[in-house]
């Protein structure tokens, strides 16, 4: 197997930020990957992206992430000069060149910019980029052990009639406002609500509540997370009941266990929601069962795609 060369202006591969990016047909040190200030991805948040993780040298459920990314491109009338297998090769090369066995891998496309400052998005040249950086988690190791402290903010998630939530996007001002609300309340992260006041999601994660032994997760106005989808699949394997639909703040707080899900961290326990505590300082039994099987499945060829790394680095 031969690997592409990294075009580099910096010689120290361990300089911050670490990782490898792909841009304009080249593999770059992460710190050399840049976008124009005039790119509408930057000026208008006119972009879509997807994030997949690599664990122990393998992508986890890469197909589902590619499905979501290509569907998002289509819904946004964006085109990239690469097909699915070419994007797979680019992502694989980013990881292989980085050498990371555990990585956070992002593919993204911005609207790009207009060569003549036209305001017509059809005239923009869309830009595809990708990168692999070290794996990161929403919850740190201490929070994984004891559970996150979450506050419910009354900030309303951008409604699906405004922005289709199935397109993974960078419209985060609502989520960031939610975070500031949560910090003010002494919590570590936030859940924000939908237009009806039911729980939607948090900054980059979905939420589940276990109530009478069955799982529930919001459906309206949320990004259909791949980790959320994976929980549905794991529930089938574990013979647990799971349903999607409205989850009111009261219903969430009345549950036995709460956990959040994201590619960045997997299945993460929650210890408090506002002033309501769950468990007694440790993750609940159902959360633990799901989390254990989730990480076990990272070794399973059904969901894991092994990466070949260069041997000479």
Ligand X SMILES: *Cc1c(COP(=O)(O)O)cnc(C)c1O
- Which residues make up the interface to ligand X (CB under 6 A)? 51, 168, 201, 204-206, 223, 225-228, 261-263
Nearer to ligand X, 110 or 227 (CB): 227
Strands (E), 64-126: 103-110
Instruction: Give residue number: closest CB to ligand X.
Output: 225
Shortest Cβ 204–ligand X spacing (Å)? 5
Distance CA 154, CA 188 (A): 16
Shortest Cβ 307–ligand X spacing (Å)? 19
Shortest Cβ 26–ligand X spacing (Å)? 27
Shortest Cβ 305–ligand X spacing (Å)? 16
Does an H or E element contain 266, and which?
Answer: strand 266-273
Contacts of residue 3, Cβ cutoff 8 Å, sequence gap at least 6:
93, 96, 97, 310
Q: How many CB atoms are located within 10 Å of the residue 245 CB? A: 11
Contacts of residue 113, Cβ cutoff 8 Å, sequence gap at least 6:
36, 38, 39, 40, 124, 125
Nearer to ligand X, 12 or 236 (CB): 236
Nearer to ligand X, 21 or 223 (CB): 223
Nearer to ligand X, 153 or 263 (CB): 263
Nearer to ligand X, 204 or 283 (CB): 204
Shortest Cβ 209–ligand X spacing (Å)? 16
Closest CA to 258 of 177, 165, 152: 152
Shortest Cβ 24–ligand X spacing (Å)? 26
Nearer to ligand X, 98 or 262 (CB): 262
Contacts of residue 12, Cβ cutoff 8 Å, sequence gap at least 6:
none
Does an H or E element contain 248, and which?
Answer: none
What is the largest distance, in Å, between two alpha-carbon atoms of the chain?
61
Angle between helices 285-296 and 226-238 (to 10 degrees): 100
Nearer to ligand X, 97 or 247 (CB): 247
Nearer to ligand X, 137 or 248 (CB): 137
Report whether 220 contacts 207 (CB < 8 A).
Answer: no
Shortest Cβ 151–ligand X spacing (Å)? 17
Shortest Cβ 226–ligand X spacing (Å)? 4
* Count of CA atoms in the C-beta half-sphere (13 A) of 47: 24
Report whether 282 contacts 234 (CB < 8 A).
Answer: no
């Amino acid at each position: 197997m031969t690997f592409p060369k990294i075009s580099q202006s910096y010689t120290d591969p361990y300089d911050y930020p670490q990782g490898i990016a792909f841009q304009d047909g080249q593999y770059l040190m992460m710190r050399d990957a840049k976008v124009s200030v005039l790119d509408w991805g930057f000026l208008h948040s006119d972009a879509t992206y997807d994030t997949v993780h690599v664990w122990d040298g393998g992508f986890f459920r890469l197909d589902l992430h590619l499905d979501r990314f290509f569907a998002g491109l289509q819904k946004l009338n964006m085109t990239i000069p690469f097909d699915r297998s070419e994007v797979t090769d680019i992502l694989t090369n980013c990881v292989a060149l980085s050498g990371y066995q555990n990585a956070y891998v992002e593919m993204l496309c911005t609207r790009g910019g207009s060569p003549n400052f036209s305001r017509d998005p059809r005239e923009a040249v869309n830009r595809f980029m990708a990168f692999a950086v070290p794996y990161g988690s929403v919850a740190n190791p201490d929070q994984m052990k004891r559970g996150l402290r979450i506050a419910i903010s009354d900030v309303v998630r951008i409604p699906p009639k405004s922005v289709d939530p199935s397109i993974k996007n960078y419209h985060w001002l609502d989520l960031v406002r939610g975070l500031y609300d949560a910090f003010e309340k002494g919590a570590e992260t936030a859940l924000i609500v939908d237009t009806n006041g039911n729980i939607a999601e948090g900054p980059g994660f979905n939420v589940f509540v276990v109530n009478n032994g069955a799982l529930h997760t919001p459906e309206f106005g949320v990004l259909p997370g791949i980790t959320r989808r994976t929980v549905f699949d794991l529930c089938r394997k574990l013979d647990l009941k799971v349903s999607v639909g409205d989850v009111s703040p009261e219903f969430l707080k009345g549950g036995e266990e709460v956990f959040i899900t994201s590619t960045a961290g997997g299945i993460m326990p929650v210890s408090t929601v506002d002033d309501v505590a769950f468990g007694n300082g440790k993750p609940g039994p159902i959360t633990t069962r799901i989390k254990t099987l989730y990480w076990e499945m990272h070794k399973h060829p059904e969901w894991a795609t092994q990466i070949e790394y260069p041997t000479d680095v």
